[in-house]
Structure 1
Amino acid sequence: MRKAPIRHELAESMPDNYSRKLMRSNINVQLGKTATVQEISESKPDAIICATGSRPYTPAFEGIDDPRIIMSDDLFSSTNKVGENVLVFEFDCDWPSMVAAIYLAEKGHQLTLISSRLHIGETVHQYLRNECLKKLYNLNVHSFPHYDIGTIKENHVVIRNLFTQQKQELTNWDSIFLSLGRIPNTELFEEMKGHARIVKQIRDCLGPRTIEEATHDGMMGVISL
């Protein structure tokens, strides 16, 4: 997120603010450790709060294992080379697909943004959406609403119109960026059940959401203990 256009300032300021607050508190912060059931159980906690976040949703369609596919968590940290012509598929219609398109277009890549919604960035707050759309138009990013992805086979990507069910093949591409929504990381929460009087999920571990919603959810989760 720190390299993502438009989100950079927020990504830099939030960790700094919370780090300062933690330094002034009496909270025992342990970094670089993996929480295990045995270790947590031995500490005999009164409550366990799981804030293990979420991960990109990966659908099961033909070609999903193609090495030219880039998932939403990997674009800004991946060392893989992104091709000149990139297809961006937007299924969740949130900000990651829009900022990914802006990020790549500003680096000189040729972009096609394909969305399954009525319009690009449908779920994004209008002020952010308007700013992103302005950038996308100025960067000559082509967009196709009302389509979803069917299969990836060799150099062919099949997309389908959601209203007519008509299929179309796209061949002029080198890389594909997928922004398909997110699912909670609940594995640790399930393992921790029964190892404390209170075991709770908060933030994206409960359900992926915006930063504002996740922050409020975390605060309310602690207050209600």
Structure 2
Amino acid sequence: MASVCACGEYFNVSAEGELCLNPGVMGLRETIYFRTVGTTQFRKTDYPWLARVKVKVQGAGGGSGGADSDPGGSIPRPGAAAGGYSESLLEVGELSAVETVVVGAGGAGGVGNNPGGDGGASAFGGVVTAPGGQGGSANTESGDTNVTANGISGGGAGTGQFAIGGGAGEGAIRISASQGMAGRGGDSVLGFGGYGRTTTGPGGGTRGWGAGAGGAFSYNGSSQPGTVGGHGTVIVELYG
């Protein structure tokens, strides 16, 4: 009679005589993407085979400031900052039965001569967190002479086994009543900041998740709004 041998590191024989995989040796089985802004829940009991999770958390980016110049003048705005990023590999026993998942909203764009809003923090419970990035400032007044505006410091690092701050928003420069450059938004680990413009118009939009919006540029009395920052995200890889 033929016989079969199975490696005990990967397999076991159940009481019913069935050949089964050992928990924790199946590798990546599923990935969950939390992309909707707001709060939801992760329940580990929904995955009875779960052995560990790899959690990736991206904070939201800041929105850029608006610009409303006087006739014969111009205002370029700096870019907004990106949110921080954190990740951790966690054994199933380290998780609570229910973990609250928060996806931060991108900061609102400023209207008139008002700054942009800060990006919201994202989190997987209290275990892995990432702060949002600062909104773009609106300190420069309308004029026709050379002036510069500082960039915006990137979002700080959150909590996790690996945690890193977001990219800074770039500064802006005015050369004359009609020439200058608005700042580019900061890059995040999972997204790209809005572009820095040299013509009148609203702030540049982001791509991906968690990046800062590009600054608006107003010239000769044209009011230009800032732009919303990139929303955050939470990614959970499930290993069996």
Same-fold call, TM > 0.5? no
The TM tier, using the shorter chain, reads under 0.3
TM-score normalised by length of structure 1: 0.23
TM-score normalised by length of structure 2: 0.22
Larger radius of gyration between Structure 1 and Structure 2: 2
